[in-house]
A and B are shown apart, each in its own frame.
Chain A
Amino acid sequence: MIAPAICCADVTLGYGPHPAVHHLDGDFERGSLTAILGPNGAGKSTLLKAIAGELKPLSGHFDFGADKPRIAYLPQLAEIDRSFPLTVFELLAMGLWRKLGLFGGLSKEDRHTIGQALDAVGLVGFENRRIDTLSGGQMSRVLFARVMLQDCDIVLLDEPFAAIDARTVVDLIALVERWHAEGRTILAVLHDDALARAHFPSSLLLAREPIAWGATADVLTEINLRTARRMVEAHDPHAPLCEVA
């Protein structure tokens, strides 16, 4: 039995006293490809942020096993300042930070790797374009290329397919499936049930509490989806304090 990639041990996440994710218990198996679904405010992005180490759990913890894995996190587009004068090539070079550090120069091989990543996302010839001239879909492609360059064990994608056209989604899904085939553990926040059913073997349906977690077909049932919607709407500002063990 292989140890899971990410073990969530009674994790509660939130900002202030209101929990955004409540008592999440369970494992993301090594090499699994999981869609995280749920209504707005269900805690999906919060969960990814916490796994990425951006947010400290209010209680509980994540267990990554003996060796701390390398985690690549693809934030929502809005979190990136695209007015900064940088080229696509330079942004991609950030993905090689672990290798280059403060001073390391780009070798011929590195340049080749970056070129390959651009090729993989269908942006050959975009090296010298400034990032403020890219469309939303092109920027998504660039960020996917950067995730590729990071070459990580765990890949977290926060709404990677929001507001991009069908063709771009198809191209990027193909990349995700390639990473899956390479044995990486992938978590993606989605808003599209059909996409999850078609391409993601596992799903986690979240509505502050985990509603269902497992094989996508078992998780995305009509009953579960309805429960999820009701859970988030029933937000009680006067809820009693939760006992912390």
Chain B
Amino acid sequence: MDSVYALLIAPFAEFDFMRRALVGASVLAVSAAPIGVFLMLRRMSLVGDAMAHAILPGAAVGYLIAGLSLGAMTLGGLVAGFAVALLAGLVARLTKLREDASLAAFYLMSLALGVTLISLRGSNIDLLHVLFGSVLALDDQALYLIGGVASVTALVFTIVVRPLVMESIDPVFLRAVSRAGAPAHLAFLALAVLNLVGGFQALGTLLAVGIMMLPAIASRFWAQTLTGMIAVAIIIGISATIAGLLISFHLGLASGPTIILIAGLFYIVSMVIGPQGGLLASYLPQRHLEA
């Protein structure tokens, strides 16, 4: 009994930074789940990754001006992320280019700019911090930020979810009955940026995508409905957070990457044994109804 306690409970009971990491990363996992599921269903799984890169120069400018200040880097990241999302969307609507191509163009420029800015000042250690975060150093401010992001996400999502679903399935129909499509799409991209920025203090700009996408992608193998997928993604996200934190604590590994690795493990297991089109389900004989 003691060993179970020492293994699973003690790290959180005894260390404040572990509790903070648990709360921060779990709330992030809940908030990012619906975003990830929609990105996946709309065949935009790589968009989160592109957005994460796009955020970098904003965070870098914040860092150049104010040092490792959460407020400045968050603000910079938001501005850069929104700008790239908006520009990519505009180019896609006004020119012949598709959105994925224009997004690729802008995020690559943004990434190069970000790395250049960071190299202007500071050592590689700072760069690593921006890129990979430090979930074990979440202060009150960072937790409030994550809580705020989650609240805004929940609120905005309830407003845009219907047009978002309709645009995903039948965009022509939505355009015929409503003008809500474009604003809903933009609001959705903004939420993606917001969650990535919220996650970058904890997990870093690059790994914040992991807690968004991996549970969402894994959920496809378990649930048939939108609600079901989001619920499964939340469960996987929180489970990966708890397991990742404990493993990194006991083995002395970097915590952010460990959380994402565990989420990746969930994905691999889901892909193999998931009942909705997983490997085993596809190859084993299935029972069917008589009529």
Residues of chain A touching chain B, judged by Cβ–Cβ distance below 8 Å, are 52-54, 71-73, 75, 79-87, 90-91, 94, 97-98, 102, 130-131, 146, 150
Q: Are A86 and B169 also in contact (CB < 8 A) when A97-B178, A130-B224 are?
A: yes
The smallest beta-carbon distance between A141 and chain B, in angstroms, is: 16
The smallest beta-carbon distance between B204 and chain A, in angstroms, is: 31
Q: How far is the CA of A150 from the CA of B172 in the complex (A)?
A: 14
Q: Is the CB of B163 within 8 A of A102?
A: yes
Q: How far is the CA of A81 from the CA of B41 in the complex (A)?
A: 10
Instruction: Name 5 interchain pairs, CB-CB below 8 A, sorted by A.
Output: A80-B169, A84-B169, A85-B226, A87-B225, A102-B160
Q: Is the CB of A97 within 8 A of B175?
A: no
Q: Are A94 and B170 also in contact (CB < 8 A) when A84-B165, A85-B225, A130-B224 are?
A: yes
The smallest beta-carbon distance between B52 and chain A, in angstroms, is: 25
Q: Is the CB of B177 within 8 A of A98?
A: yes
Residues of B within 8 A of A91 (CB): 169
Residues of A within 8 A of B166 (CB): 94, 97
Q: Is the CB of A85 within 8 A of B162?
A: no
Tell which of A52, A79, A102 has the most Cβ of chain B within 10 Å.
A102
B216-229: CB near A (< 8 Å → 1, else 0) gives 00000001111001
**Nearest CB in chain B to that of A100: its residue:** B162
Q: How far is the CA of A81 from the CA of B178 in the complex (A)?
A: 19
**Nearest CB in chain A to that of B220: its residue:** A85
**Nearest CB in chain A to that of B276: its residue:** A85
Q: Is the CB of A81 within 8 A of B168?
A: yes
Residues of A within 8 A of B173 (CB): 73, 75, 94, 146
Residues of B within 8 A of A71 (CB): 176
Q: How far is the CA of A211 from the CA of B257 in the complex (A)?
A: 67
Q: How far is the CA of A82 from the CA of B170 in the complex (A)?
A: 9
**Nearest CB in chain B to that of A49: its residue:** B172
